[in-house]
A and B are shown apart, each in its own frame.
Chain A
């Protein structure tokens, strides 16, 4: 698998570390019910068969966290963006 890093171009997946779901957002720790919200944020993930947005870390490259749009069935990658420019 190769990932189109927005900085480095198409790079082998071995240069990246995988984290997972990029669609979850760290809850507001001051909001009421924060503990439940954090529980969901830390532990609950969907496991879609198909299109997914995932966080990958280009640790052996530019060190960017990248949001990769990947089809989990075919590994086809539709695109990648810098995480700091994406609002989940």
Chain B
């Protein structure tokens, strides 16, 4: 056991059981998975991405590159979770990943031997040729071997929420600077949100042993937290990562509501996605300890100096039996010495510097620690670290150690500052990049701004917290910052040990070595952006938080440019990985978008309808009857019943737009290709409208209810698009027109009855004096009155099905009653409800175009509607529809098709080829757009576009469908298969 006998911010009275790779262990409440594993002496936690190198834990935070595990099992299994951020809970089960057959013995570590093939640029080089290798070797072997964890194979059983909130000052990070910033802002009365990804407030103060105001740092944290929690204007959000900065002071944050328990409590989400809109924000995200590059620097047991301290001080864990420190800066010394004072056995401190501040040296010597100044670690050994080889004064010696704490300096955590594209700037004296120009309204405080010394951090946070509150309109003053250590950390820039042995890693998570960086340099990929893409340096889930500095420092040395001139790549959101489930929130499956039932939905359900999604709508597709063996049989029955007697369908889903105003008729003339100003009151007309590029946008009938009042219908799918287009025309193109539009799609239910008996049915539901006789209400006529004893109604005599037909519109709440009334009135005639399938069959029989034909690539001429276009006026799309390419004689035009052999089936998507011609693109004459089995003809029929369509009726071509392996001889014909003269409509 490596648990120290005392200390740590864990609750030793609350043991917690967990398992890793099937072995059971115990930790304590307050542990992370990483600290509990270390406490149990488990130092091997994962295998690396490419080479399957054994890896242990490197950090103690969300920047962890190595200790990635699969957490939980079954449907809740989650890959690539960082053991350093996983809070321990009872029953936690974790598995190592990217290894086979076991973590300790991984056959795939043979990839290490393949490292010459997996070097920088291997995606571009190795995978190039020969082509046969791609399928047989690269994909199955390399892709499988190089990878991380496995996602769950079942649906995630948990829920995810989205929430919005607002504040005056958002403080990101609750460490030293974050706490003083939040206190200073909150005391002014400003609404403050303090967010931290950790489950406890305090940041570095949870791990450092510096006193604040002469007392332990922990008591300052406790006091600050108590005050903040007592203020009604403060919201503390722990376990909440602010992952992105967006426009206008908007911040994305992920709250891990239930990740620290085995299963979320009833009605609680696993995670909650916050959109926080803040007037001002203070980024107090602290800093990272960065690695040094040398051979074997990835061996389990090598960790950052700050991590060594955090495990010792915060979790009461010695990361190993004997530790040594290898560093170039004072801050690393104080970290290692804090750990030593907490009980970690520290054998030696190796520093590349020959001069180190006397007080640090004295403190080390008092603890009996050997100092090797001007020394370097040149190699490590042991599958799990057992010793380090140190070079100093020209000699090498081996020092036994289970832990090698390393620190190449402190890197400010400025991730969020570059989300708007601002490039960090290099500071030579700190050997660190500092934030460039952060997004407006975001100030950077404390260590994130390069103010590393604790006293300075506390003061800086107080100052920026107060100025943020002031900028948000409050009278704020910085709190009197507590006193603390103020000595800046000495550092001598140092990135890479020369003359080292073994693979020297720059990026642990993507297995990028110093050699890869040198190779990229030799091959000319020298800018940081190219270096990143070529080597994958910094592209893993840690986004180079640990690795970027050393990588570009090595490149800077190779180019001789200096680090400042070399620059750094930009960080992008998210700061740490965000699960897709959290982004989707409740918008999953059927909840992805709203479902819109029609006014007759309940009635259709009672009738046993099968529904189909049409946009957001649910429409009845067909109404199966007992004994019918498939949908086709039901649909045939519905069509026959309608054509022989009467059928009913709900067409409420069509878009309905109310157009009123003195210029309404003139407006319609400009948006439709045909003329509406000549339409008489009480009449309807079919209209086609184009996009400005000349393609058909939509079609439908528009009726004139009064001289200055029209009601337009659109297709179901285009209702919103057409409305937006009409508003555009009115407001942007012709603001001088006096017209008002209102969408009334949802206000009116519209029921269509079609068939020779439809008038008899209608006559039974209309109230006197409404006359629906052929004389009073002829084809394309419109009548207004009441039905069912007083319900306001509009009656349009038209039919998409091609029969005598009426559409009856009533206020939506009466739609179901009207349907039941029509069904009752029609009972003597055997009135038959039908769905969208039967409607589709009837419209194809009738040669009416629909969505398959109005596909955004067809002109009115293509649809055989060219003659509808008025030549006496301008309209949207007129000029472009006249382009040479759109009116050339060879452009396919709508026609009907029927199989020469009546037993053959036709399919949409088939292409037309001359008989005897080869099935090539050159011989393509057009395509089939819609097909149906026609009960009227007893064969399959189709609509399609073919060159010179109207001139070729009676000719034969092939409907060639290589995708389905079909080739059917068809005859070109009139697209109106049924009642081509429209006589049935006018009876």
Among residues of B, the one whose C-beta sits closest to the C-beta of A73 is B421
* Cross-chain contact of B879 among A1, A35, A73 (Cβ < 8 A): A35
Say if the beta carbon of A2 comes within 8 Å of chain B: yes
- Contacting A at CB under 8 A, from B719-764, are 720, 724, 727-728, 730-733, 735
The docked-state distance in angstroms from the alpha carbon of A42 to that of B187 is 57
Among residues of B, the one whose C-beta sits closest to the C-beta of A77 is B248
Summed over the interface, the residue pairs from A and B with CB atoms below 8 Å come to a total of 56
Say if the beta carbon of B878 comes within 8 Å of chain A: yes
Residues of A close to B735: CB separation below 8 A: 83-85
Say if the beta carbon of B775 comes within 8 Å of chain A: no
B731 with A83: CB separation less than 8 A: yes
B732 with A84: CB separation less than 8 A: yes
- Contacting B at CB under 8 A, from A19-47, are 19, 26, 29-30, 34-35, 38-39, 41-43
Say if the beta carbon of B658 comes within 8 Å of chain A: no
Say if the beta carbon of B222 comes within 8 Å of chain A: no
Residues of B close to A61: CB separation below 8 A: none
A39 with B732: CB separation less than 8 A: no
B733 with A1: CB separation less than 8 A: no
Render B575-598 as a binary contact track against A, CB cut-off 8 A, 1 for contact.
Answer: 000000000000000000000000
Among residues of B, the one whose C-beta sits closest to the C-beta of A87 is B735
Render A45-88 as a binary contact track against B, CB cut-off 8 A, 1 for contact.
Answer: 00000000001010100011100000001111000001111000
* Cross-chain contact of B248 among A2, A30, A59 (Cβ < 8 A): A2
Query: In angstroms, how far is the closest chain B Cβ from the Cβ of A12?
Result: 9
The docked-state distance in angstroms from the alpha carbon of A56 to that of B937 is 50
* Cross-chain contact of B732 among A13, A17, A29, A65 (Cβ < 8 A): A65
The docked-state distance in angstroms from the alpha carbon of A49 to that of B874 is 36
The size class of the interface chain B forms with chain A is 20 to 34
Render B56-70 as a binary contact track against A, CB cut-off 8 A, 1 for contact.
Answer: 000000000000000
Residues of A close to B693: CB separation below 8 A: 42-43
Say if the beta carbon of B420 comes within 8 Å of chain A: yes
B interface secondary structure, majority: helix
Say if the beta carbon of B883 comes within 8 Å of chain A: yes
Query: In angstroms, how far is the closest chain B Cβ from the Cβ of A22?
Result: 8
The docked-state distance in angstroms from the alpha carbon of A83 to that of B440 is 29
Say if the beta carbon of B880 comes within 8 Å of chain A: yes
Query: In angstroms, how far is the closest chain A Cβ from the Cβ of B551?
Result: 28
The docked-state distance in angstroms from the alpha carbon of A75 to that of B441 is 14
The size class of the interface chain A forms with chain B is 20 to 34
Q: A30-B874, A74-B420, A75-B247 known; A65 and B728 CB under 8 Å? A: yes
Residues of A close to B874: CB separation below 8 A: 29-30
* Cross-chain contact of A35 among B246, B440, B730, B882 (Cβ < 8 A): B882
Among residues of A, the one whose C-beta sits closest to the C-beta of B883 is A35
Residues of B close to A30: CB separation below 8 A: 874
Among residues of A, the one whose C-beta sits closest to the C-beta of B727 is A63
Q: A38-B692, A38-B880 known; A1 and B247 CB under 8 Å? A: yes
The docked-state distance in angstroms from the alpha carbon of A1 to that of B440 is 13
Among residues of A, the one whose C-beta sits closest to the C-beta of B692 is A42
- Contacting A at CB under 8 A, from B838-894, are 874, 878-880, 882-883
Residues of B close to A17: CB separation below 8 A: 724
The docked-state distance in angstroms from the alpha carbon of A35 to that of B247 is 40
A55 with B732: CB separation less than 8 A: yes
B420 with A83: CB separation less than 8 A: no
The docked-state distance in angstroms from the alpha carbon of A37 to that of B427 is 55
Among residues of B, the one whose C-beta sits closest to the C-beta of A35 is B879
The docked-state distance in angstroms from the alpha carbon of A41 to that of B733 is 13
Render B6-29 as a binary contact track against A, CB cut-off 8 A, 1 for contact.
Answer: 000000000000000000000000
Among residues of B, the one whose C-beta sits closest to the C-beta of A75 is B247
Query: In angstroms, how far is the closest chain B Cβ from the Cβ of A88?
Result: 8
B420 with A84: CB separation less than 8 A: no
The docked-state distance in angstroms from the alpha carbon of A13 to that of B883 is 37
The docked-state distance in angstroms from the alpha carbon of A23 to that of B872 is 29
The docked-state distance in angstroms from the alpha carbon of A27 to that of B56 is 68
Residues of B close to A19: CB separation below 8 A: 728
Query: In angstroms, how far is the closest chain A Cβ from the Cβ of B584?
Result: 16
Residues of A close to B720: CB separation below 8 A: 59
Residues of B close to A63: CB separation below 8 A: 727
Among residues of A, the one whose C-beta sits closest to the C-beta of B691 is A42
Q: A64-B731, A65-B731, A83-B732 known; A39 and B724 CB under 8 Å? A: no
The docked-state distance in angstroms from the alpha carbon of A73 to that of B731 is 28
Residues of B close to A74: CB separation below 8 A: 420
Among residues of A, the one whose C-beta sits closest to the C-beta of B439 is A74
B879 with A38: CB separation less than 8 A: yes
Q: A57-B724, A65-B732, A84-B732 known; A29 and B878 CB under 8 Å? A: yes
* Cross-chain contact of A57 among B247, B728, B733 (Cβ < 8 A): B728
Q: A38-B879, A42-B692 known; A26 and B733 CB under 8 Å? A: yes
Residues of B close to A39: CB separation below 8 A: 880
Among residues of A, the one whose C-beta sits closest to the C-beta of B164 is A12
The docked-state distance in angstroms from the alpha carbon of A65 to that of B727 is 8
A-B contact pairs, 13 of them (CB 8 A): A2-B247, A17-B724, A26-B733, A29-B878, A38-B880, A39-B880, A42-B880, A63-B727, A64-B731, A65-B728, A73-B421, A76-B440, A84-B730
In the A-B complex, the 5 residue pairs with the closest CB atoms: A84-B735, A1-B247, A65-B731, A75-B247, A29-B874
| Interface contacts beyond A35-B883, A38-B880, A84-B732: sample of 4 additional A-B pairs, CB < 8 Å, sorted by A | A59-B720, A65-B727, A83-B732, A85-B735
> B residues touching A (Cβ–Cβ < 8 Å)?
246-248, 250, 420-421, 440, 692-693, 720, 724, 727-728, 730-733, 735, 874, 878-880, 882-883
